Chain A
């Protein structure tokens, strides 16, 4: 079991806000998300606990524009699990961050 933290690490827009859920990768159609209401802003992130496995954080950009970077790391800061740049110009809905907890 891993304590994880999801946060926005780079953004020029202080109003940027995202929200979404964490799903098991390749989940069947009738599956439910493992973690819901995961919210991150420029100034604050979310913490949650997951077992080992492959996951997808599916999220929407609720406010703000521009480029930003999303990161999942261990809550104690010991390791970065996944990080990825995004641009709201590409899309605001249906964004994803895939990551694996080992």
Chain B
């Protein structure tokens, strides 16, 4: 319990007390270190705790447009209810697995208001105006531009040598809009805001872990005589995720797609129950008498190491106010359990509510509640088709309302 709670509490304290990015800068972009925490529980008895740190910076030469994140994390999970996350492992037949992993993310920010975007608007305007320059006769507004851009028929000045007011008329509105946006906020504020709503977010991650397995094993193999086994098994997961957020709108559409691979130990549904004599118990009353006592135990019969492959595509909306209060999405989800042949088909509809938004100038740290209902059907070779309904509820502390690769493993 201590092993789990101490880092969690320390991290939660960091999350609520000191969420602001550190002031170091790189290419004029703030370098960000933020704690990430997650505590989730599901009606299907799955529960998980994750703690990590997001280290985020601009991406080299493309730092004005792209961010890179590295998020190392430690996690533990259970399939036996949230209470078993906080109970001693000796009370449960199977120890909870512990994972060490990391997500990597490449994020393109919506840099409409950034300097790079403004340069992009100028480049596009130049190209749009220059496209008319070979034609004749040229309208008056084009003529002056073409004389500047192609003196003597040869492209001469770079676009940076031509004033925006000298561009052709059709581009002036776009140039004015881009400049107005630029003036409305400083670049640093704009980038901080855009980090809340990344246009493209590519993320991948992996984790490795170990779990104590405690089960009955037939000895010799194939016989009906069992012995207890205690062993440590290696587990692993990997995930890919992509998120798109519609730029430049008050409430924006989102599209998410992800695929995960999770190699884990699932407790067998078939369990053996056995008892052995444990002396006698005194019976109350007179005359004195005793009853035979037994000690009984349950353990899974055999071990099930399964590979779960999950894929989903979600469409949704996000509130782009500052701070952003909600995000909702839904879409189909498919999960195949490779070894058992189990298949889950259904709809996933996560809803994110932002109940704490912290930050100095911009809300760059969010406290979220995630409600994630899943409705569908499950098929396996023994039971055929059956309903598959669950709700996952989670408390999250993180930079924004969007998830990265390892967040999808649930």
A interface vs B, CB < 8 Å?
23, 25-27, 29, 56, 58, 86-87, 89-98
Contacts and interface: CB of A to CB of B under 8 A. Distances in A.
A27 B160 CA distance: 10
Interface string B115-135: 100110010000000000000
8 contacts: A26-B156, A29-B158, A58-B160, A90-B179, A93-B182, A95-B164, A96-B163, A97-B163
B176 interface: yes
B176 A90 contact: yes
B158 A26 contact: yes
Contacts of B162: 96
B175 interface: yes
B172 interface: yes
A97 B165 CA distance: 11
A90 B119 CA distance: 15
Contacts, number: 52
B7 interface: no
Contacts of B156: 26
A95 B161 contact: no
Contacts of B115: 93
A56 B122 contact: no
B161 A26 contact: yes
B62 interface: no
Contact of A94 (B157, B160, B172): B160
Interface string B133-154: 0000000000000000000000
Given A86-B163, A87-B165, A93-B179, 4 more contacts: A26-B161, A86-B165, A94-B160, A94-B163
Contacts of A29: 158
Nearest to B115: A93
A94 B182 contact: no
A95 B163 CA distance: 5
B158 A91 contact: no
B183 interface: yes
Interface in B148-194: 156-158, 160-165, 172, 175-176, 179, 182-183
Interface of B: 115, 118-119, 122, 156-158, 160-165, 172, 175-176, 179, 182-183
Contact of B183 (A56, A92, A98): A92
Contacts of A87: 165
A60 to B, nearest CB: 9
A90 B172 contact: yes
Nearest to A24: B161
B157 A91 contact: no
A96 B160 contact: yes
A82 B22 CA distance: 46
Contacts of B165: 86-87, 90-91
Contacts of B157: 25-26, 56
B187 to A, nearest CB: 11
B164 A27 contact: no
A98 B164 contact: no
Contacts of B163: 86, 91, 94-97
User: Which 10 A-B pairs rank lowest in CB-CB distance, beginning with the nearest?
Assistant: A91-B164, A96-B163, A90-B165, A91-B179, A56-B161, A92-B179, A26-B156, A93-B118, A91-B175, A26-B157
Contacts of B179: 90-93
A85 to B, nearest CB: 9
B182 A27 contact: no
Contacts of A91: 163-165, 175-176, 179
A91 B156 CA distance: 23
A25 B161 contact: yes
B122 A92 contact: no
Nearest to A98: B161
